Amino acid sequence: GGTPTTFYETAFFHRASRSLIVTDALARVPLEAPPLSDPARLLLVSKRSTADPQPADTPEARQAGWEKTALLVSFFFPEHEEADPAAGLGVVTWTEGWHDNFRALAGRLLVPPVVRTLLYAQDPAAVRRWVDAVARRWQFEQIV
């Protein structure tokens, strides 16, 4: 149920590089944290449990923080992120398997799961018409 949401996607064509540029239709989650990522925030998210102390600032802790951040941004409630009421109200613990989920998500072009579930699922035929129109309009070689 729910009220249908109007969604406007934007696509641009950069003729010189033959690149299709889209805003939310597609995403590529990098395998490593982008250079401008805030190390303190990555460390905060890297913890196994929100009740755990801040970890030491290591490349491994930053990478774990990046991977968990990517999962949190891509899904509302990622698999393997579980409420832990025994540890206290609002405490969340990451269980085994979250790293495998990141590896399945990262490094490839995909429709972000939140966009696919909340928006594109409302009218798949309209989404298909838009994709076909973009594909017919421009002879692009890459998507950015």
Q: Mind listing the pLDDT tens digit for each residue in 122-132?
A: 889 999 999 99
| Position 118 confidence tier, pLDDT thresholds 50, 70, 90 | confident
The mean pLDDT of 78-91, rounded to a whole number, is 89
Q: What is the pLDDT of residue 58?
A: 96
Name the band, by pLDDT with cuts 50, 70 and 90, for residue 46: very high
- Nearest alpha carbon to residue 48 among 92, 100, 104: 92
C-alpha 36, offset from chain centre:
17
| DSSP state, residue 115 | H
Percent of the chain with pLDDT over 90: 68
The DSSP H or E segment spanning 64 is helix 59-74
Give pLDDT, residue 39: 95
Q: Phi first, then psi: give them for residue 29, nearest 5 degrees.
A: -85, 120
- The values of phi and psi at residue 116, to 5°, are -60, -45
pLDDT at residue 1 greater than cutoff 60: no
Looking at residue 5, its pLDDT comes to 67
Residue (of 51, 21, 47, 45) closest to 33 by Cα position: 45
Contact 28, 50 (CB under 8 A): no
Its pTM stands at: 0.81
Q: How much is the mean pLDDT over the chain?
A: 91
Q: Are 134 and 13 in contact (CB under 8 A)?
A: no
Do 48 and 94 meet the contact criterion of CB atoms below 8 Å apart? yes
**How far is 22 from 111, CA to CA, in rounded Å?**
11
